[in-house]
C-alpha cells in the first residue's frame, strides 16, 4: 500500500472478511454496500484524515452514509474489537516467518 490507498487487495480482504457478520436480507430499499467497500472507505478516512463528505466515489468505495452507518453498527455490536487482534496476529506471523527464514 505504498503511495495512495487504492483499496484492499484480494489477499488483504481475505484476512478480514470472516470478521464481519452477514447482513440481514432486506425486503425494501437499496441493497447493502459490500463490506469490503465499507472497510476500504473507513481505511481511506483513517489514512488521509479526510472529512466524510470527501470520500472518493467509485466501484471500490461505499457512500459516506453507508460507511458511517456500518461504522456505528460495528462499534455497537463489537465487530471492531476483532480488527486490532487480527492485524496483530497477522503481523506477528509475518515477523516469526522472517525470523525463522533468517536463522
Average pLDDT of the residues in 61-83: 89
Alpha-carbon distance of 13 to 36, in angstroms, equals 7
Q: Are 5 and 43 in contact (CB under 8 A)?
A: yes
Cα separations in angstroms, 34 against 20, 29, 42, 61, 89: 11, 15, 13, 9, 25
Is 23 in a helix, a strand, or coil? Answer: coil
Residue count of the chain, please give it.
103
Residue 103's pLDDT is 60
Cell numbers 479526510 label which residue? 50
Q: What is the pLDDT of residues 38-70, one digit of tens each?
A: 989 988 888 888 899 999 999 999 999 999 999
The structural domains of the chain, with segments of one domain joined by +, span 32-102
Q: What is the DSSP letter of 57?
A: -
Cell (9 digits) for 3: 503511495
Amino acid at each position: 500500500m505504498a503511495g495512495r490507498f487504492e483499496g484492499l487487495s484480494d489477499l488483504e480482504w481475505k484476512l478480514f472478511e470472516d470478521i464481519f457478520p452477514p447482513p440481514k436480507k432486506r425486503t425494501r430499499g437499496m441493497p447493502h454496500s459490500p463490506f469490503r467497500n465499507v472497510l476500504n472507505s473507513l481505511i481511506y478516512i483513517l489514512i488521509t484524515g479526510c472529512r466524510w463528505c470527501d470520500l472518493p466515489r467509485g466501484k471500490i468505495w461505499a457512500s459516506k452514509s453507508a460507511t458511517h452507518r456500518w461504522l456505528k453498527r460495528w462499534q455497537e455490536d463489537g465487530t471492531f474489537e476483532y480488527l486490532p487482534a487480527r492485524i496483530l496476529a497477522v503481523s506477528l506471523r509475518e515477523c516469526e516467518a522472517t525470523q525463522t527464514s533468517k536463522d
